[in-house]
Structure 1
Amino acid sequence: MSGMFTSMEENEFDQLQKMIRETPVHVDFTARIMNRMDNRYEHYKPRAMKRYKAAWIAASLFVLAIALTSIGFVSPTMAESLKKIPGIASIFQAAGDSGLKTADEEGLVRSGSADAHQGVTLQVPVAMFDGTRISIGLNRVISGGKSSASTIREQIKDVDLFVDGEPVQSFSPPNSNSIGVYLYPGMNDDSAIVEFSDLHNQGGKALPDKFNLSMSIAMNGIQAPFLLNVPMERSTRNTRVWEPNRVRSLNNIDFTLMKVESTPITTNLTTTIALSDHARLTLSERSIGIDVFDDKGNKIKFISGNGWNETNGSMLQSDYRFEPLPANVKSITVKPYEHAYQAKDSNLFQLEADGTPVVHYLPELEMTVKLK
């Protein structure tokens, strides 16, 4: 009947909604970046967050947050106290990311400033930099304890980032590759996590261990941008690095695992896919992904990634970011896979019953790397 879902359609809608809610949103909206999307992974393309029931945070918490903006690293005692206050430390706790949860629990976080316009305040209660990725928790407070019809992720329309006053893209490689900015769900409709990584494995400059991060955030319905500052400092020094440079081949595809970087918060794998006949990479080849398993067969949760290849190029270089490896892990197994598409020449993935894309592993490209 028109205007009504059948039970099957309802089930499909629920699965799609679940997948959308768990998917980070790319918030780099400049035309320059969007024009390059065809050089990026198809499976990293952004999808809009489905609107869901709005929630609100008591305005009284904002007073406490402002008092904390001058704090650098939050001490373990202060961090433990903050965890008891809904809406402050729980952004990282509720992110579903074990690395961010570890950073929060061990006091490896910082706080930043706040800004207010037209009765809306944005604040940065938590931020983290482990040398691999930067994660910034955002909290929105509407005066009078009011709620909004849109989530903070829906309201944010642009994010500009500056490192010691220089645009973050100045750290990009000297080609069309650019640093992507992602927006993840927080603990409710009024919180979110902004995240990005440098491209030091792809020819870009590494971020310094200590710098001031400035953010200009444009929001729908607000005339002036919100200006926020976060004094960042690398929170982990014990980064472990392996450079196996291991190669596996299948037909004309050469898959190389170049580097593994492991911190207590993030695991980063750098790979390349190259065509031995120097032909142009197709969509199917550009969308090859990887899963990572520890030495006990446990799958490591994927966080985000970025890949780049020259227009009409035959090589794709990528960084994949996963949650931290278990303590005392002795080896990892990397399993490349290809996506199953709904039809030939289609860019639409087949979906499992839970809404995740159907993938087929490529055992010829699989490799196990010992981590000594």
Structure 2
Amino acid sequence: MNPFDLDKELREIGKAHRSEVPDIIRHHQDEVYAFLSDLPMSTRSNRQQRSPKVRGLIAAAAAAAMIGIISSAYVSPAMAESLRKIPLISSIFRLADDLGLQTAGERGLVAEPNASVTHEGVTIRIPQVVYDGTRLSLAVKREGEGFAGSISDVEIMQDNNDTTYRYQKGAITDVEMLIDGTSIHDPSLSDKAGLIGKPTSDPNVVLYELIGFSRLEHQNQSLPDQFQLTAKISLEGIDAPYVIHVPVRKNTDQMIVSSGETREWNGLQITLEQLKFTPITTDLIVNLERTDKSGKLGDPNLLFEVWDDRGRELGRISGKGVYRDDRQQQQRLELMFDRFEDAPESITIKPFLPVFQDPTANGGLYKVDSNGEMVKTYLKELEITIPVDHVGLDKLYDAQW
């Protein structure tokens, strides 16, 4: 339901004295119950405490109860406006396994264009977007009947060297994103935004993220602060593509920490160039260099983790590497992670090498432990720990918009 129709709906409910639960109340009750059943009890680092989703739960339940109490009475415009401002767990980003996006819904960082197109009785809607200048997250929702699977279902079939894809009716078969009319998939672009699709617990909702990586020679992003997004989405069984236009504007501040800290091991040098924080994303830029000039840059399987001073690891989102020389001995990596649960005093960058099932191949399948987690070889010599402006980051995280 469009939240801007809430005033009208509440007025109509107030005019009718009825004993059954009105649809608008039932809708919000169902949201609360579904949210409670899906509430996680631990975080990625296995701490036995509830997710930050809990912060909005009490207010949401109270709001639902309040609507029930006044359902048979007239609701003034002032009361309707007050109710509209109470969190009703209405952000679709609560479906994401992403603390930054969940926080965006809680902190009022979500824009609601609610743009849609309908073909052959099936509607594709972009109800909400979040943009912090680093990544743009948009929810794509499917509405209609007769679907056999989720909107993101695809069956991949491999026959020798041939790969084919099979889609159920209503599944997305192709997505193209344009920024101010220019496709991000244009091969002539040297600085291109990345695109990631993420399924959710709702079979009719998928999240897409455009990642605006920093340009090599200057710090501005490949995504501007404000632009017109055009999403072209094709569905299996629907002839015409869905072309949806959405205005996008950055609506968060950021905090940048420049470093220059350097570590070296086995002829490989890493330099932490900068960290950029938003209320949604943590962006890390690292420079790699082969100092012994013995060949191409380091081990291609070098990966990174980011931890805070209390032993909590950030979830990874995306990354991009660009060679800075023809001999491939210098590389600039930009790695994007989730936000911290709360502002740390310091953070640690932990480089590691994944262990493969066949160590002699230096590739192929990763080795996993009994819990299904990747087995890693941490490179302690390359670890970098830097302090963080705890007060400044805390203000950034708590900012309301």
Q: Calculate the TM-score normalised by the size of structure 1.
A: 0.70
2:385 equivalent to 1:368: yes
Three-state SS of the structure 1 residue aligned to 2:127 is strand
**Aligned twin of 2:330:** 315
| Secondary structure in structure 2 of the residue aligned to 1:200 | coil
1:139 has 2:156 as partner: no
Letter in 1 for 2:203: D
Which moved further from structure 2: 155-164 or 247-256?
A: 155-164
Larger radius of gyration: 2
After superposition, the C-alpha distances for 1:11-36 in whole angstroms (9 at most, x for unaligned) are xxxxxxxxxxxxxxxxxxxxxxxxxx
In the TM superposition, what are the counterparts of 1:187-226 in structure 2 within 5 Å? 187-203=201-217, 205-226=221-242
- Cα deviation, residue 293, structure 1: 1.1
> For the Cα contact (< 8 Å) 2:192–2:212, is it kept in 1?
no
Matched, 1:93 2:82: no
Q: CA RMSD in A?
A: 2.6
CA distance in 1, matches of 2:369, 2:151: 28
> Does the 8 Å contact 1:173/1:199 carry over to 2?
no
SS at match of 2:128: strand
Alignment gaps of 5+ in structure 1:
1-74
**Aligned position for 1:268:** 283
The structure 1 residue matched to 2:371, chosen from 348, 354, 372, is 354
Q: Is the 8 A contact 2:129 2:139 kept in 1?
A: yes
Q: Name whichever of 316-325 and 103-112 sits farther off.
A: 316-325
Given residue 157 of structure 1, which amino acid in structure 2 is its aligned partner? Answer: T
Q: Write the letter of the residue equivalent to 1:254.
A: Q
SS of aligned partner of 1:162: strand
Which residues in structure 2 correspond to 1:72-87 (within 5 Å)? 78=84, 80=86, 83=89
Q: Which amino acid aligns with 1:147?
A: F
Mapped partners of 1:340, 1:209: distance in 2: 40
2:194 to 162, 180, 186: 180
Q: Structure 2: which amino acid aligns with 1:363?
A: K
Q: Which amino acid aligns with 1:165?
A: G
- Residues 240 and 301 of structure 1, relative CA distance in 2, 3 Å threshold: same
Deviations 1:168-207 (A, max 9, x none): 3579963xx6432100122321111000211224357542
Distance in 2 of aligned mates of 1:221 and 1:126: 25
Name the CA distance, whole Å, in 2 between partners of 1:205 and 1:160. 20
| Alignment deviations for residues 191-234 of structure 1 (CA, whole Å, 9 cap, x no partner) | 11000211224357542222211111123332221111221111
AA at the equivalent of 2:225? D
Shift of 1:153: 4.8
Q: Which residue of 2 aligns with 1:235?
A: 251
What is the rounded CA distance, in whole Å, between the counterparts of 2:332 and 2:350 in structure 1? 17
Give deviations 1:335-364, integer Å, cap 9, x for gaps. 111110111123221122333321111000
Report the counterpart of residue 152 of structure 2 in structure 1: 152
Shift of the alpha carbon at 1:160? 1.4
Q: 2:355·2:367 contact (CA, 8 Å) conserved in 1?
A: yes
Change (3 A) 1:163 1:151: closer
| Cα pair 2:117 2:125 within 8 Å, conserved | yes
- Higher mean C-alpha deviation, range 129-138 or range 215-224: 215-224
| Cα separation, partners in 2 of 1:82 and 1:211, compared to 1, 3 Å | farther
What's the CA shift for 1:244? 0.4
String of CA shifts for 1:259-295, please: whole Å, max 9, x gaps.
100011111111122212341246xx22211111112
C-alpha distance 253-126 of structure 1, shift in aligned 2 (>3 A): same
Q: Which has the higher contact order (CA 8 A, sep 6+)?
A: 1
Distance 1:76 1:161, change over 3 A: farther
Q: Secondary structure at the match of 2:102?
A: helix
Amino acid in structure 2 at the alignment position of 1:152: S
Match for residue 118 of structure 1 among 107, 116, 120:
120
Distance in 1 (alpha carbons) for counterparts of 2:135 and 2:322:
18
Q: 2:66: which partner in 1?
A: none
Does the 8 Å contact 2:307/2:348 carry over to 1? yes
Contact 1:171 1:207 in 2 (8 A): no
* TM-score after normalising by structure 2: 0.65
Distance in 2 (alpha carbons) for counterparts of 1:99 and 1:157: 28
- Displacement after TM superposition at 1:120 (Å): 2.1
Distance 1:222 1:164, change over 3 A: same
Q: Which residue of structure 1 aligns with residue 398 of structure 2?
A: none
